[in-house]
Amino acid sequence: MTDAPQTDVQPDRQPLARLLGGRPVLVPRGGERGEAMALLLAEHGAQAALVPLIEQVPPRDNAPLEESVTQLNRGAFDWVAVTSVHGAQALIAAGARPGSARVAAVGPATAAALTTAGFAVDLVPPEFTGAELAARLIDTISAERSPGGRVLLPLSEIAEPTLEEGLRAAGFAPDRVTAYRTVPAHADPAADAALRPRLGAALVLSSSGARALAARFAPLPQTVVVVAIGAPTARELSRLGLPPAVIAPVHTAAGTVAALVDYAARTINPEGQTT
């Protein structure tokens, strides 16, 4: 008795590698966080080009943050809402003490940065956006007490006002303070020019990153697959003439990589051809 011939088409196990054809994916981070994204891409046969597009630097004047943290440690705030890992790091560096207020974090990476420093995170929304954080925080506070509670918001200097406007419209008292500044990273024009025609995809993790990408790499070749971490970033990319092919449904760095992998799987048929 002989084995029957294999008639089923085997699934393509590396559609991302086939989609990109050896072209690299722009990862807009360096350091450990960029390397973590590069490892995720390598699992699918893709090469990463680590190109930090933005960086975070201290405020021009650190006194307002220090004063806000002093008030926080004295119990003046009911909640502190943190919208990024950098905001968490700035808050911790300024001397914030665990237990001074309840803590809301925009997503798992921000929550991890806080819990590593000893903070108990009371709220993480199911969708990792400022709008969803505001909605869940409003629901939580409203269920416990009447509107009016103070909420500290340690944000980037250029952060969109989504969170504070949502809280204020619901009758709460958000105190926004600049915890850090987001500025374009140092660019190497010659390296950028050499990389641009080789790119297969670009991952974009923020609106400020979208602006930096446009400033350094636009116009991108039409074949480059642009992936946005979420809708606000997608809108900014479109405004800049770089409309994304993919918007990640999970608004994290890993979710953005996964969205690119899923796009490749939907784009490449089992024979490895583009649909």
pLDDT at residue number 171:
86
Structural element, H or E, at residue 195: helix 189-195
What pLDDT, in 10s, does the model give residues 89-145? Answer: 999 999 999 999 999 999 999 999 999 999 999 999 998 888 899 999 999 988 876
What pLDDT, in 10s, does the model give residues 163-212? Answer: 899 899 888 889 999 999 999 999 999 999 999 999 999 999 999 999 99
Neighbours of 220 (CB within 10 A): 19
Long-range contacts of 267-274 (CB under 8 A, 24+ apart): 267/15, 267/19, 268/12, 268/15, 268/18, 268/19, 269/12, 270/9, 270/10, 270/11, 270/12, 271/9, 271/12, 272/12, 272/15, 272/18, 274/19
- Cα 44 vs. chain centroid, distance in angstroms? 21
DSSP, collapsed to helix, strand or coil, labels residue 206 as: coil
CA distance 235 to 252: 17
What pLDDT, in 10s, does the model give residues 21-75? Answer: 999 999 999 999 999 999 999 999 999 999 999 999 999 999 999 999 999 999 9
What pLDDT, in 10s, does the model give residues 138-166? Answer: 999 888 765 567 999 999 999 889 889 98
